[in-house]
Amino acid sequence: MASTQPQTILIVSGAAYDIAALESALAEYGFRVHVVNRGDAALAAVREGSISLVLVEAALAGSASFELVQRLLAAADEGKLPVLMMSPTPTDDEHRRALEAGASGYLQLPQSVQEVVEQVLVELTVRHAWPTRPGSAKLDAESLEVNYFSMMLSTPDSVMLFDAEHGHPVAINASTERLLGRTSAELRSLRLEDLCPPEQPDGTPSAQAVQDLMRRVLAGEVKVFQMTFQHSSGRRIDCDLRLVMLNKDGRRLYHMRMVDVTGHKLAEALRFGQNKLLEMIARGAPLQQTLDSLMLLIEAQSPGVLCSTLLLDTDGKTMRHGSAPSLPQEYMAAIDGLAIGPGVGSCGTAMFRKEGVIVNDITTDPLWQPYKAIAEKFGLRACWSMPILLDQDTVLGTFAMYYREPRSPGPDDLRLTGVATHLAGIAIARMRHENELLRHRGHLEELVEARTADMRRAMDAAEQANAELQKALENLRMTQDELVRRDKLAALGALVAGVAHELNTPIGNSLMVASTMVERTRTIRNSTDTGMLRRSALDAYLQQAQEADDIVVRNLRRAANLVQSFKLIAVDTDSAQRRTFFLDNFISELILPLHAMVKHTEVQVEQDIPYHFDMDSYPGQLGQVIQVLFENSITHGFAGRAGGHIKIAARRLADNTAQLTFEDDGAGILPEHLPRIFDPFFTTRLGAGGSGLGLHVAHNIVTGVLGGRITVESTPGAGTRFSLLLPSSAPL
């Protein structure tokens, strides 16, 4: 009989495979693992005689790996060492050469760690699980060597070894007995299809499903199969199966590992069902439909359970039917309308106590004494009820689980009741909220209808007030237009009066001189006609005529200048020339001829404008404004002063507006004069050559054709600063 010492698996590999995970998985089956990364180290380990199986990674030595397989087999005792090659880049040629070199198998990577372990177990089974006398007619557990049987007993998985010819298990471990609820002796007497329900979940007869499974395994298909088995109690068990066919000396065995996935599938079904129910609630599905779906979902999780939901009426005292798709309608009708209380079965008591009520046997529990007969009539023996609470004090209803046999809940049952009460609470609360919303909506409609008349009256009053307001606004507009017209007329009158006043002086002077000269001319002519003209009189006349001519020309020239200034007051945009220009170049060219005005005053002129400061405007009109400001500064700011400083600067603001400043450090402007400096004919140098129109003309140009605005700041004795805010692109 083979030794019971743990077997050693030798792994010859580099870093291409997760050795740590494989080593851990093999250790779970009681194997020792020895890892090397060189061929000579592998040969040394095999020669020691303690190696049961070798895994060789083909990528470690390339083509030399086939020679390594041969050398490992030669180093083993009688060449019986199983060697499995693992290849991350499998090819048919490599597979063939591996088998020709003597390898027992060829593993195509990638494979999961568990799949590699499964191949190791299968190979060891092939080597060690056969009867000591191959000629034996029948296989049984006693004829197996202890090595494989020990592995089956120690593995945590459910494992069976089937005789392919007879279809009966020949070896079963304890995990399988627990999984199926049958003893080893019972299982040996049954075929695989006898361990299944009549049909699989997809409707396929289990006998046919087993035949299909065996056919696929015989064809060499290696994968995880799914099959449903049946516990001795009748409970169904969903399993993932991995079958490997073992063939030696003409005999075939099926090594079958079973993994119970019932809990996983139930959990998946529950999770899917919960999501579907939440979607139904979110879509506003009817409460009855939602609760029916919930009851069926819970019933699918626990065989034999019959679920129900009762609702607490709005009076807070009466139970009403909610949902019970699997319970008899007569039973539900009998309990519908019962008042809750401390001894009204499981549900009525749970609502009353606001806590769970577990009744394991209805026939003996005093809470069911008044209702025991109707429960027995329909074969109901156990009832566990949990209250559905909106909050700590508000009961919405109950969720109950009925069974047809006495039964106490387990952890899974309590978990299901928690899920059911939570989902039912969401659905019922939403229904109540919707009903409350409908009630409020109806009340709101009543309020709206009741106040509609008031609103109509208010609207009529508002319309009447609006009409009166429109009439008042129209009167206001008419009044405003009249005031504007009067202001314009007043301004025009003032302007005409100013023009008349300003022109009256030079024209009057000219008229007076001309009239005087007319009289003097008549006198000279009379003297000439009478022959009494003396030379002294003629010389005096000529002297007076020359003086009169000078006076007339000077006054008429002044009148002409005044008329030209009057024309500038109304800027004509049609005659203005608009173009794109650089402000820095324009100002430089503009102030060049103006320097002649400041030569004798020693006034310094400074320009601070960014390079290529572009504008799209009217340079001619802008030049007039700068010239007016320049002349105003020389005439008023630096009158009677020696030296001074004028600065013209510009910068671009965030809104693309150009800010142009003109400042001097001259005499400044008195505070009482500042509000009037832009008025026509306002001047502080009346009779000294000032017309009082320069700044008025500048203001009209800036606010008119240039589309900007002009402001002034001044401190007497410290100078004056004019600021022009102009759009970089003048209005059209």
CATH class of 579-727: alpha beta
Task: Kindly compute the dihedral angle of the four CA atoms of residues 8, 9, 12, 16, in this order, to the nearest 10 degrees.
Answer: -130
- Residue 2 pLDDT: 41
Distance CA 15, CA 468 (A): 94
Read off the DSSP letter of residue 318: B
CATH topology (fold) of 268-434? Beta-Lactamase (3.30.450)
Average pLDDT value for the chain: 83
- At 144, the pLDDT band (50, 70, 90 cuts) reads very low
What is the rounded average pLDDT of the residues 235-256? 79
Complete DSSP assignment for 228-278: EEE-TTS-EEEEEEEEEEEEETTEEEEEEEEEE-HHHHHHHHHHHHHHHHH
Gap between the terminal Cα atoms of the chain: 113
> Distance between CA atoms of 633 and 553, rounded to whole angstroms?
29
pLDDT the model gives residue 15: 60
pLDDT of residue 129: 42
Edge-first strand order for the sheet with 158-163 is: 169-172, 158-163, 251-260, 236-248, 225-230
Could you report the per-residue pLDDT of 265-284, keeping only the tens digit for each?
888 888 898 899 999 988 88
465 has pLDDT over 50: yes
Report whether 274 contacts 415 (CB < 8 A).
Answer: no
Residue 131's pLDDT band, with cuts at 50, 70 and 90, is very low
Burial status of residue 467 (CB atoms within 10 A of its CB: 0-12, 13-18, 19 or more): exposed
Q: Give the Å distances, CA to CA, from 45 to 59, 128, 503, 683.
A: 20, 21, 130, 120
Which pLDDT score is estimated for 130?
A: 41
Q: What is the pLDDT of residue 329?
A: 92
Q: Crossing angle of helices 64-75/92-100, nearest 10°?
A: 30
Q: Which amino acid is at 306?
A: L
Which residues, including other chains, have CB under 8 Å from residue 712's CB and lie 6 or more apart?
Answer: 669, 674, 677, 720, 721, 722, 723
Whether 585 contacts 624, CB under 8 Å: no
Least confident of 237-241, 292-296, 681-685: 681-685
Query: Which is more confident, 327 or 264?
Result: 327
342, 330 contact by CB (below 8 A): no
Contacts of residue 173, Cβ cutoff 8 Å, sequence gap at least 6: 152, 153, 155, 158, 159, 160
Helices H, strands E: what count in the chain? 20, 22
DSSP element (H, E) containing 617 = strand 614-617
Which tokens hold the place of 238?
């969903």
Instruction: Please give the CATH architecture assigned to the domain spanning 144-260.
Output: 2-Layer Sandwich (3.30)
Ramachandran sector of residue 656 (left: φ over 0; alpha: ψ -120 to 50; beta: rest): left
In sequence order, the β-bridge partners of residue 614 are: 582
**CA–CA gap between residue 533 and residue 523 (Å, rounded):** 10
Q: What is the average pLDDT across 85-105?
A: 81
Instruction: Tell me what pLDDT residue 137 has.
Output: 45
- The label of the residue with tokens 């020679």 reads 67
The mean pLDDT of 435-444, rounded to a whole number, is: 80
What is the predicted pLDDT for the residue at 530? Answer: 84
What mean pLDDT comes out for the span 479-507?
Answer: 61
Q: What is the pLDDT at residue 5?
A: 63
The fraction of the chain above a pLDDT of 70, given in percent, is 85
For 571, the 3-state DSSP assignment is coil
Q: Are 127 and 7 in contact (CB under 8 A)?
A: no
Tell me the two tokens of residue 315.
């009076």
Least confident of 299-308, 311-320, 521-530, 723-732: 521-530
- The one-character DSSP state at 675 is G
pTM: 0.44
Report the DSSP pairing between strands 319-323 and 225-230: unpaired
356-413: per-residue pLDDT in tens? 999 999 999 999 999 999 999 999 999 999 999 988 889 999 999 999 999 999 888 9
CA 664 to chain centre: 59
Looking at residue 253, its pLDDT comes to 80
Average pLDDT over residues 706-731: 93
pLDDT at 510 over 70: yes
588-600 tens-digit pLDDT = 988 888 776 666 6
Q: Which of 102, 48, 36 is nearest to 70 (CA)?
A: 102
Two domains, one topology: 1-128 and 268-434: no
pLDDT (tens digit per residue) in 597-655: 666 678 889 999 999 999 999 998 999 899 999 988 888 888 878 788 999 999 999 99
Q: What is the pLDDT of residue 133?
A: 38
Helix (H, G, I), strand (E, B) or coil at 227: strand
What's the DSSP call for residue 466?
H
Q: Tell the CATH topology of 1-128.
A: Rossmann fold (3.40.50)
Check the CA dihedral 295-297-298-302 and report its sign: positive
- Band (127; pLDDT cuts 50, 70, 90): low
Report the percentage of the chain scoring pLDDT > 90: 32
pLDDT score of 500 = 64
Cβ contacts of 558-565, under 8 Å, gap ≥ 24: 558/506, 559/503, 559/506, 559/507, 559/510, 561/691, 562/499, 562/502, 562/503, 562/506, 562/691, 563/503, 565/691, 565/693, 565/694, 565/697
pLDDT at 135: 44
pLDDT score for 603: 86
pLDDT at 455 over 90: no
What is the model's pLDDT at position 375?
Answer: 93
- Beta strands 105-108 and 83-87 are parallel
- The helix or strand, by DSSP H or E, that contains position 580, with its residue range, turns out to be strand 579-582
How many whole angstroms separate alpha carbon 511 and alpha carbon 504?
10
- Provide φ and ψ at 684, rounded to 5°: -100, 5
**pLDDT, greater one: 441 or 150:** 441
The pLDDT of residue 200 is 93
Q: Domain ranges in the chain?
A: 1-128, 144-260, 268-434, 435-567, 579-727
* 285-305 tens-digit pLDDT: 999 999 999 999 999 888 889
The CB density around residue 67, as the number of other CB atoms within 10 Å, is: 12
Whether the CB-CB separation of 246 and 129 falls below 8 Å is answered with yes
* The pLDDT value given to residue 715: 92
Our measurement of the distance from residue 261's CA atom to the centroid of its chain's CA atoms, rounded to an integer in Å, reads: 38
Please provide the DSSP assignment of 128-167 as one string.
HSS-SSTT-SS--GGGS-HHHHHHHHH-SSEEEEEETTT-
- Selection from 226, 222, 257, 255 nearest residue 239 by Cα: 226
Among the residue ranges 135-139, 404-408, 544-548, the one predicted with the least confidence is: 135-139
